Structure 1
């Protein structure tokens, strides 16, 4: 995403509901929720997710006590209606209030009218229904939002923004179209974006008392705005069917914000985004939770970035929605036979999968002739799969990863792979390095050691212990350490490996015993229970990070 739209309107505010630093009785939460999914334009593809995103966000803000809620859908959305709604919210707001601005739909970019500023040479904008670059009512540019917010919203009112949209991105590994299920919320790219937007009208209303009314070309970030960018600059924002059987497509950013504020975490008591388990969710916690979950959902294709004013990370969130328990068991994965040779194997009685009639409805696509298993992300997750036992091992490994996802917490530990760029597919024989950065928990005893445990789940589910080995003793490390752990070469089996790093304040004896017992076996599922026990016992002092490694010819 480009600089200003990234900073101003391509992300979620770190919370929809923040305990204001004034009397909670006086403060109110107000909301403007906007969604466009029917574009009625040959230039733009209709989307499926924004309709469901918008409904979910309205339910969430109203459940949290917001009564002043404006919702605009499809052809109700224009420059005038959005500007008018923001102006009206500014007039109704009092010091200490919060305004939630939310948009779900396409994002795009065009040449900037003024170049050479800190905003860059491209304008990021939202194309609306019946988009026409010659009609300013049919799109909203990042600079419009800046002008409206600075002019119409007093500085004493906090603004929380979420735009589940994006406009640019690259990938450095291929995706197989037979299994790629993500839909980019991207309006225009490359030659399609070679147009200039027409001149836009100036703000139509007088500045609200206390608003800065900023209109300069080079603009400082608004100090009363908190947000989390939907993705890094070079990435797309996606919508995708959620991991619940029969669930509709959703924007990944919106879905994970909702999950973080309405479902229970690993301890079964606190909210999923309450990473330290202290009974409240802070801005920084929700930002970390959403970034980790979206990255995991998209196979590292999308990673939200937080942009929070200095000192804002500790602002407390609250959620009055009763936290829901996650389902005890997930539905069996759906597999589609890409060729007739795969059908007899997939039809085996008692298999831990169900057969999909269409590739579009499948979690995995199996081409037995080529021996390749593809995941819905479009990635070739396993090669040379020829037997039922091999297929079971691959699917058990992915079930393990899905069950570990709610446990992820990268606040204290982050595992990274190299030397290739984010998401690189490594060819046979290539060198792969892994490193772990560990951080001490807030308030922990100075000099207190931590224990690091790292293992790999190969593409076929084979468990490989990595750290500690004989040279590292019990795996004790110092807080703040950045450790190079693996310098190895890519060998079979090829596909998608998952490297797992666990940080704990005490040695995870039970987990390490299981690791020793299943070393070299396709037994990834046996690690879930001891991992969960270790994560819950570690609390805020520990963490869990998983990195995907793509290998193959």
Structure 2
């Protein structure tokens, strides 16, 4: 399997990169597929990643978009980079587009009998034998990576595509999964055969970051009003400096993992769990990307060490990050005046007659949402966008177990947050009805791990969002507002803007989508 081979590749313990080491980047994004359903966000992903690479001080970039995405062009660029690169240099290869499967080329090579491949725009499954030169098979990628590793070149492959999987929740966007090829094809290249011999033990300096687990799809989700890939979006923000937690000009494997896991979950509303290779880093010194010194935050040193709000810590306000206090909303069946709407992009939807409130991704976010309740739901999602903007700089870690994309009535689960290194913590829930529910406050004390066990899914169903704010800022005023019986999302937003916007505060968000058991 493409995911199995590459996800299981072994990453050696990488020392800190030499300051003179060069980084090369191969960026690919395809929306337009003449013989397949086209995508909406892959080109935006590639353009965003390329721009972020440039901001990170990486100048050796080969970018291929839509009609320029051909196997020959990509292979030539890869070969050029491998020939020019020296030991300890890095090649970053990012791909946003369709993925698919086909019967294995080498009998017994794959556990499930299927090879995975990147489907480029020129491939037509109805003329598979004639156009198979426009696919890149997992075995071929293994051979390419082996070429780099033979010279001591490090590889970071970021694949924002899909090869298998399914989801429980309804979804209105596109997935980056093309239909499987059912007929057995001839090998499109010698590498497609030789690469089948390579196994995880053969790779020491290859890091692979995939958009989701093999059991999940890779959907295009709405981010800032536009269809995007959550992995590409998160990787671009990491490159801009948000992934460099300690400000040393390098993104370690641990830093990238912490940042990407949290923000992919936030932006995909828990539809995706990224997959790293290896699953457990071998050392804290593994470096995957070196940044320009100009991106380093001037006073930030480590999580939980910031002091005070404001831009002196190098963190931006939510508005500086693009957040607005407006929500794009399409309304049917009601003419009631609703405040804080009018934002741009793909809208939320409220069907007043049915009482259903939907996210831009098509998820059912709330049931029985009446005219009396809809303002609270709108205010909830305005607040949630504020929190996501803050989390894009300082994302915390939380978890639900067992892990599902949709929970049914009667399911029991545990919500947990590890100690974060901050002195204070506030935990609350933004309910699917728009209500704000205080769960826990720890003020001016040594923060310990938090656990809320044996939660049961009950009515009403929709989308709850459990939030943990960890900070060194005073939280007594926040706690007092949350404890008020009249607390609402709009009031809480005003308090958070005053108290923690642009501060060194960690924000963790756990979406919880629920539905009646069939």
Task: Give the direction of change, closer, same or farther, for the CA distance of 1:466–1:537 in structure 2 (3 Å limit).
Answer: same
Q: Distance in 1 between matches of 2:52 and 2:101?
A: 30
What's the counterpart of residue 154 of structure 1?
150
1:392 to 375, 379, 399: 375
What's the counterpart of residue 143 of structure 1?
139
Partner SS state of residue 150, structure 1: helix
Q: C-alpha displacement at 1:289, in angstroms?
A: 1.5
After superposition, what is the alpha-carbon deviation per residue over 1:388-420, rounded to whole angstroms, capped at 9, x for unaligned?
A: x4111001011111111133389996433355x
After superposition, what is the alpha-carbon deviation per residue over 1:85-117, rounded to whole angstroms, capped at 9, x for unaligned?
A: 322221111122211222221111122233544
2:510 is aligned with 1:547: yes
Contact 2:396 2:420 in 1 (8 A): no
Q: Distance in 1 between matches of 2:432 and 2:196?
A: 54
What's the counterpart of residue 435 of structure 1?
415
What's the counterpart of residue 350 of structure 2?
366
Task: Give the direction of change, closer, same or farther, for the CA distance of 1:155–1:7 in structure 2 (3 Å limit).
Answer: farther
1:197 to 178, 181, 185: 185
Structure 1 segments unaligned to the other structure (5+ residues): 205-212, 263-270, 445-449
2:23 to 4, 25, 29: 29
Range 295-304 or range 482-491, more displaced = 482-491
Q: Distance in 1 between matches of 2:261 and 2:480?
A: 32
Contact 1:514 1:527 in 2 (8 A): no
Q: C-alpha displacement at 1:152, in angstroms?
A: 5.0
User: Scaled by the length of structure 2, what TM-score is found?
Assistant: 0.81
Task: Give the direction of change, closer, same or farther, for the CA distance of 1:528–1:544 in structure 2 (3 Å limit).
Answer: farther
Range 219-228 or range 104-113, more displaced = 219-228
Contact 2:89 2:154 in 1 (8 A): yes
Q: Distance in 1 between matches of 2:231 and 2:411?
A: 33
Q: Distance in 1 between matches of 2:246 and 2:416?
A: 20
1:454 to 409, 427, 446: 427
1:101-500 equivalences under 5 Å are 101-117=93-109, 120-132=112-124, 133-134=128-129, 135-151=131-147, 153-175=149-171, 180=172, 182-188=173-179, 192-203=180-191, 216=197, 218-220=199-201, 222-243=203-224, 249-262=227-240, 271-276=241-246, 281-308=251-278, 310-311=282-283, 314-315=286-287, 317-319=290-292, 326-328=318-320, 329-330=323-324, 332-338=326-332, 341-342=333-334, 344-345=335-336, 348=337, 351-354=339-342, 362-387=346-371, 389-408=372-391, 414-418=397-401, 421-427=403-409, 430-439=410-419, 441=421, 452-467=425-440, 479=448, 481=449, 483-485=451-453, 487-488=455-456, 490-492=458-460, 494-500=461-467
1:26-105 equivalences under 5 Å are 27-41=21-35, 44-105=36-97
Structure 2 segments unaligned to the other structure (5+ residues): 296-313
Q: Distance in 1 between matches of 2:30 and 2:159?
A: 11
Q: Distance in 1 between matches of 2:236 and 2:457?
A: 40
Q: Distance in 1 between matches of 2:496 and 2:352?
A: 34
After superposition, what is the alpha-carbon deviation per residue over 1:106-132, rounded to whole angstroms, capped at 9, x for unaligned?
A: 111122233544765321101122314
Q: Distance in 1 between matches of 2:195 and 2:184?
A: 24
Q: Distance in 1 between matches of 2:155 and 2:343?
A: 47
Contact 1:166 1:230 in 2 (8 A): yes
2:492 is aligned with 1:526: yes
Q: C-alpha displacement at 1:174, in angstroms?
A: 3.2
Q: How many residues align?
A: 484
Q: C-alpha displacement at 1:147, in angstroms?
A: 0.9
Range 192-201 or range 85-94, more displaced = 192-201
After superposition, what is the alpha-carbon deviation per residue over 1:471-524, rounded to whole angstroms, capped at 9, x for unaligned?
A: xx9797875x563445345244x322112234457983332222112x464335
